[in-house]
């Protein structure tokens, strides 16, 4: 490609670096790459890999070329990072669930981070960080339809979103551990003791809604199943709960949108749509930023729930 274009070829292994633990060395890479790019007008740089300090090649995880492009955009102080792929932008939800979902015109880094974490996969989520640090927007474009505007990913924007929500994403395969204990709210350190049981077995938790006498921990079911009895025994030993109940085969859905903060009744419309679709809600979790609402449902209700939420906010625009 470099020969075809007549551009300089730069081997990524000479400008992208990892430490001995395999962690990306952002500052060293940015300095070295910036110096190298300042000496050439145009260059072709392969994505997805770099090198350890001793010269051995190290690859990024899947989608590493997205990350490499972001690193290069930051190093050369680009005005914009165009990421050319096979779709015309970031879709509001999974096209395997909803036919021909609308394309998102503009999305913020925070919104994208929330959606990518919950399974939306147009852009590798780690590709956000290098350009976000430099305030460089990302434009997702379609190689097969170059005339399409695609999706702009920005730090912040005063542009009003087309719909109240920006996107819907989710994952199946969670389970919940519901812990009950009278006067839990007055027992200092109770939450720490419960979470220590998961930490000892190296299990990370996804969400932790709680009440006065109850606490529920959501974890990935495949991680938890092999260690469940050890975790339960440790919770009993450390926290002495009155009871513990498990529920499996759950899905989590994230409804994300900067427009939700300024719109009254967003949660009400979500739950009205789910009730109309006969979907039972197992969990509700909303952060104080009002950027997203996490909903827990049974695995078999996941696709039905996503369609119901999409219909009410995009098709009906209520």
Which tokens sit at 8?
């300089």
Handedness of CA 108, 109, 110, 112 (dihedral sign): positive
Check residue 218 and give its pLDDT: 95
How many domains are contained in the chain?
2
Distance CA 221, CA 207 (A): 13
At 235, the pLDDT band (50, 70, 90 cuts) reads very high
Neighbouring C-beta atoms of residue 237, cutoff 10 Å: 10
For residue 118, give its domain range.
2-154
- Alpha-carbon distances, residue 29 vs 73, 161, 277 (angstroms): 12, 36, 51
140 and 165, same domain (yes or no): no
Q: Alpha carbon 103 to chain centroid distance?
A: 18
206 and 280, same domain (yes or no): yes
Residue linked to tokens 């955009």: 73
Distance CA 45, CA 12 (A): 6
At 262, the pLDDT band (50, 70, 90 cuts) reads confident
283 and 256, same domain (yes or no): yes
133 and 173, same domain (yes or no): no
Q: Which domain-ending residue is among 122, 154, 186?
A: 154
> How close are the terminal C-alpha atoms of the chain, in Å?
49
112 and 223, same domain (yes or no): no
Q: Which domain-ending residue is among 128, 154, 180?
A: 154
169 and 137, same domain (yes or no): no
Check residue 73 and give its pLDDT: 93
CATH of the domain at 262: 3.30.2130.10
The pTM of the full predicted model, rounded to 2 decimals, is: 0.82
Residue 195 and residue 287 in contact, taking contact as beta carbons nearer than 8 Å: no
Whether 162 has a pLDDT exceeding 90, the answer reads no
188 and 149, same domain (yes or no): no
At 318, the pLDDT band (50, 70, 90 cuts) reads low
Q: Which domain-ending residue is among 154, 173, 208?
A: 154
Distance CA 281, CA 296 (A): 6
61 and 204, same domain (yes or no): no
Which of these, 239, 202, 208, lies nearest to 224 by C-alpha position?
202
Distance CA 202, CA 45 (A): 38
38 and 74, same domain (yes or no): yes
Burial class (CB in 10 A: 0-12, 13-18, 19+), 214: middle
Whether 254 has a pLDDT exceeding 80, the answer reads yes
Distance CA 111, CA 96 (A): 21
167 and 108, same domain (yes or no): no
Residue 219 and residue 186 in contact, taking contact as beta carbons nearer than 8 Å: no
CATH of the domain at 6: 3.40.1160.10
129 and 144, same domain (yes or no): yes
315 and 173, same domain (yes or no): yes
- Which pLDDT tens digit goes with each residue over 211-231? 889 999 999 999 999 999 999
- Which pLDDT tens digit goes with each residue over 41-72? 999 999 889 999 888 999 887 667 888 999 99
Check residue 63 and give its pLDDT: 66
Distance CA 63, CA 61 (A): 6
User: Residues with Cβ < 8 Å from 41, sequence gap 6 or more?
Assistant: none
């Amino acid at each position: 490609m470099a020969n075809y274009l007549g551009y300089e070829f730069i081997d990524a292994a000479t400008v992208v670096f990892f430490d001995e633990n395999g962690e990306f060395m952002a500052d060293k890479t940015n300095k070295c790459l910036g110096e190298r790019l300042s000496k050439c007008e145009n260059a072709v740089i392969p994505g997805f890999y770099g090198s350890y300090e001793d010269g051995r090649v190290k690859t990024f995880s899947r989608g590493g070329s997205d990350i490499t492009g972001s690193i290069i955009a930051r190093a050369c102080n680009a005005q914009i990072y165009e990421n050319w792929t096979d779709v015309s932008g970031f879709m509001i939800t999974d096209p395997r669930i909803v036919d021909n979902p609308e394309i998102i015109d503009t999305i913020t880094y925070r919104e994208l981070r929330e959606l990518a974490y919950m399974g939306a996969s147009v852009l590798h989520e780690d590709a956000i960080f290098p350009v976000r640090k430099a305030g460089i927007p990302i434009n997702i474009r379609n190689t097969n339809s170059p005339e399409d505007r695609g999706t702009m990913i920005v730090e912040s924007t005063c542009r009003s979103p087309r719909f109240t929500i920006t996107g819907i994403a989710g994952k199946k395969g969670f389970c919940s551990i519901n812990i009950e204990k009278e006067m839990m709210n007055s027992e200092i350190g109770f939450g720490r003791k419960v979470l220590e049981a998961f930490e000892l077995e190296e299990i990370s938790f996804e969400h932790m809604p709680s009440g006065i006498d109850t606490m529920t921990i959501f974890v990935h079911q495949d991680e938890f199943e092999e260690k469940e009895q050890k975790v339960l025994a440790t919770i009993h030993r450390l926290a002495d709960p009155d009871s513990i109940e498990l529920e499996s085969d759950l899905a989590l859905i994230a409804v994300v949108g900067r427009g939700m903060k300024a719109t009254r009744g967003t949660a009400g419309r979500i739950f009205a749509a789910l009730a109309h679709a006969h979907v039972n809600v197992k969990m509700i979790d909303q952060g104080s930023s009002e950027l997203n609402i996490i909903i827990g449902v049974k695995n078999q209700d996941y696709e039905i729930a996503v369609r119901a939420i999409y219909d009410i906010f995009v098709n009906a625009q209520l």
